Amino acid sequence: MRDVQIPPVKIGPINKLLSPLALGSFIFGADAWRPAARAQLTATLQTALDHGITHFDTATGYGSGQSEELIGQFVG
């Protein structure tokens, strides 16, 4: 993968730089994410961070809550 960085931007009135792009996690934790696939999930999250994506979109309903748990384990 090319070394592309997504620069942060100011969004709205807050005086803080934020990632203009989010990584959606609807599929994380679904039946497809068995233990063998967790390495792929970790690699996906790490690649996103490496390229400036710091916003991970998740919700309790994604993978019946597994999405939040998997991302929580990644960020420690």
pTM above 0.85, yes or no: no
pLDDT bracket for residue 56 (50, 70, 90): very high
Domain membership of residue 69 as a residue range? 9-75
| Domain assignment of residue 27, yes or no | yes
| Domain assignment of residue 22, yes or no | yes
| Domain assignment of residue 1, yes or no | no
Nearest in space to 39 (alpha carbons), one of 74, 1, 4: 74
pLDDT of 45 strictly over 90:
yes
For the four alpha carbons of 32, 38, 39 and 41, in that order, the dihedral sign comes to positive
Share of the chain above pLDDT 90, in %: 34
| Domain assignment of residue 4, yes or no | no
- For the chain, the domain total comes to 1
The pLDDT score that the predictor gives to residue 1 is 58
| Domain assignment of residue 42, yes or no | yes
Strands 55-57 and 22-24: parallel
| Domain assignment of residue 58, yes or no | yes
Calpha distance 13→52 (Å, rounded): 21
- Give pLDDT tens digits for 15-26: 889 999 999 988
| Domain assignment of residue 3, yes or no | no
The pLDDT score that the predictor gives to residue 44 is 93
